[in-house]
Amino acid sequence: MLRAGIVGLPNVGKSTLFNALVANAKATAANFPFCTIEPNVGVVAVPDERLEVLAKISNSAEIIPTRVEFVDIAGLVKGASQGEGLGNQFLANIREVDAIVHVVRCFENDDIIHVSGSVDPIRDIEVINLELALADLAQVEKRLDRARKQARGNKELQVEVDALEKVLPILNEGQPARQVELTEEEEAALKPLGLLTYKPIIYAANVSEDDLATGNAWVEQVRELAAKENAQVVVVSAQVESELIELPPEERQDFLESLGVTEGGLQSLIRATYELLGLRTYFTTGPKETRAWTIKAGMLAPQAAGVIHTDFERGFIRAETVAYQDLVATGSMAAAKEKGLVRSEGKDYTVQEGDVMLFRFNV
């Protein structure tokens, strides 16, 4: 399961957001820095309306959505790359995730202390990004010296040297490594380093209840900065989300509509995180269950089958495949077959988003 780490300065709403994400999480949300020390981990379902539709077609007894793991990482502060505020421990936690959700405070509240004394999302983002870049810089400099020496007797290591030399000047400027264009070989060479600033990022602009529908001037600032980084922005309200989970399910939609929105920001955040990680969904459906399966974009049919069980990949024969839209339009698998919409795909087939699949394999 792929993991997204929730990061940000202390008291920006990370733990409150995390609690709302997993609903049952036990993360402590309190009004002082370093409330979260050990990272809390929660697994959340990726919302997908297609599951309900397929389950009705197949009369499924159970629906199983795909999931993403979120890690609530303690608040970073200026100097974290030098160990300030338990920074080394927190940076190590970030290194273990696949993507970063950077929570940025975009609300005013005198009752919630800001570590810098005022609300300034751009300053806050730059503090975090600089600390991550400094941590990466130290790692890249150390590795580059060694790689240059090793490359003298091993030309294959020259790819890593080239990649490190591309990344170094960007990090020296305090900018994220993801701004550098790397070849696939260079990316593979740098992967073992787990560079913090090369991880894909989403900025979660945390606003007050009143600004959830429209955003505010701070949100616009975050959007401008994110556009320069080619990053995404999702507007959320930790306050609203914490209230939502206290309401009965039947009352939640009315509450959201009273705020001028159709869904909570967390739904958008979960979807955006899923897409950010380059993930795709295919489905299996039948009387027993309708289930969403997670694959990487570009996976071939045997690899997709292997997500269910390694035996499926080893003994793969073919995949009976129908597009979600075609199955819904015809109303049943039998009707889709009659119209020639169910295809028999072989080992070279690239699985598409929303494919409904049945694998044939030898044991």
Residues spanned by the domain of 22: 3-118+197-276
pLDDT of residue 90: 61
The answer on pLDDT for 298 being more than 80 is yes
340 in the same domain as 260: no
Contact 251, 198 (CB under 8 A): no
* Cα distance from N-terminal residue to C-terminal residue, the chain: 26
Together in a domain, 64 and 110:
yes
What pLDDT does residue 75 have? Answer: 57
In the numeric block, which tokens belong to residue 100?
A: 């970063």
Q: Tell me the DSSP string of 185-212.
A: HHHHHHGGG--GGGS-EEEEEE--GGGT
Tens digits of per-residue pLDDT, 183-242?
A: 989 999 998 888 988 988 999 999 988 898 888 999 999 999 998 887 889 999 888 888
Whether 220 and 109 map to the same domain: the answer is yes
Same domain as 348, residue 226: no
Distance CA 157, CA 163 (A): 10
90 in any annotated domain: yes
Decide if 13 is inside a domain: yes
Q: What is the pLDDT of residues 301-319, one digit of tens each?
A: 999 999 999 999 999 999 9
Residue in 50, 44, 40, 45 with CA at minimum distance from that of residue 22: 44
End residue of a domain, out of 276, 307, 332: 276
Q: Domain of 308: which CATH number?
A: 3.10.20.30
Confirm whether 184 is domain-assigned: no
Q: Which H/E stretch holds residue 311?
A: helix 310-314
Residues 239 and 357 placed together within one structural domain of the fold: no
Helix (H, G, I), strand (E, B) or coil at 65: coil
pLDDT of residue 258: 87
**Does 12 score more than 90 pLDDT?**
no
Contact 4, 68 (CB under 8 A): yes
Percent of the chain at pLDDT > 70 equals: 88
pLDDT surpasses 70 at 85: no
CATH number at residue 111: 3.40.50.300
Answer yes or no: do 204 and 243 share one domain: yes
In-domain check, residue 124 = no
SS3 302: helix
Q: Please check whether residues 341 and 217 belong to one and the same domain.
A: no
Q: Are 222 and 122 in contact (CB under 8 A)?
A: yes
Residues 250 and 320 grouped into a single domain: no
Domain edge (last residue) among 276, 306, 329: 276
Residue 342 DSSP SS3: coil
Q: Which of 241, 276, 311 is the last residue of a domain?
A: 276
217 in any annotated domain: yes
Which of 44 and 308 is assigned the larger pLDDT? 308
84 pLDDT above the threshold of 60: no
Domain count, the chain: 2
Q: Within a 10 A sphere around the Cβ of 92, how many other Cβ atoms?
A: 14
Question: pTM of the prediction?
Answer: 0.77
Whole-angstrom distance, CA of residue 219 vs CA of residue 223: 6
- Do 16 and 100 fall within a single domain? yes
User: Is 180 inside any structural domain?
Assistant: no
252 is a domain residue: yes
Residue 44: strand pairing partners: 68
Domain-located, residue 249: yes
Q: Does residue 351 share a domain with residue 210?
A: no
**Lowest-confidence segment of 156-165, 214-223, 267-276, 325-334 by average pLDDT:** 267-276
The pair of structure tokens assigned to 236 is 């959320």
Both 9 and 80 in one domain: the answer is yes
Residues 36 and 14 sit within 8 Å (Cβ to Cβ): yes
96 and 202 both lie in a single domain: yes
- 3 state DSSP class of 215: coil
Helix, strand, coil percentages for the chain (3-state, nearest 5): 45, 20, 35
**Structure tokens given for 9:** 């300065």
